[in-house]
Structure 1
């Protein structure tokens, strides 16, 4: 199952880019339509405003994307995400110029 270090933000219940966010390891299904994050199962749903995944149990909406080196992951907010411990070393190396695990070739 593919796994990537991603930027994840909860969108449901918060004003634009004000929800909690994380830099975390996210596992994806073979089709990349299902993501597994912090014990949640998230499915990609087209047509959502300001989100690209929805929790299959709670219907909460999330934005998942690759992290940015300049840490401008939130479009309208400069709040820094919480970095999960198991992603910290790779993420800090990424901020210094290294490629993220799983993205060595692009």
Structure 2
């Protein structure tokens, strides 16, 4: 599986249960075309603008997801939610120091 687009920290939210769902901040890799995103052993393909409240789907299950770059100010979900976003351990320090510019929070596991 050759990836030519540099891996990125992204926000990944499951949308199969409605407008809001559990989200994570994690490092993803991309296919050469960028149409497929790989994260946590799953492959997600772009809906190319044809999704409803989702922009990718899980290739194996067809379940909808929202995948986007994390926001500098936080609040990464597509819609306001009280569901905490979990931050993967391997990206936590980079997320808090480089993206959010809040290095004092680098031990925090959720947004």
State the alpha-carbon separation in 2 of the partners of residues 80 and 71 from structure 1.
11
C-alpha RMSD of matched pairs (Å):
1.6
Which consecutive residues of structure 1, in runs of 5 or more, have no partner in the other structure?
Answer: 99-106
State the match for 1:103 in structure 2. none
Residue 55 (structure 1) aligned with residue 58 (structure 2): yes
SS at match of 1:50: coil
State the match for 1:9 in structure 2. 13
Moved over 6 A (4+): none
State the match for 2:39 in structure 1. 37
Which consecutive residues of structure 2, in runs of 5 or more, have no partner in the other structure?
Answer: 104-111
CA apart distance, 1:82: 0.5
State the alpha-carbon separation in 1 of the partners of residues 84 and 94 from structure 2.
17
State the alpha-carbon separation in 1 of the partners of residues 75 and 92 from structure 2.
17
State the alpha-carbon separation in 2 of the partners of residues 32 and 25 from structure 1.
15
> Contact 1:3/1:26 (CA < 8 Å) preserved in 2?
yes
Normalising by structure 2, we get a TM-score of 0.79
Normalising by structure 1, we get a TM-score of 0.83
Taking the TM superposition and a 5 Å limit, the aligned residue runs for 1:1-106 are 1=3, 2-12=6-16, 14-17=17-20, 19-46=21-48, 47-74=50-77, 75-93=79-97, 94-96=99-101
* Residues paired across the two proteins, number: 96
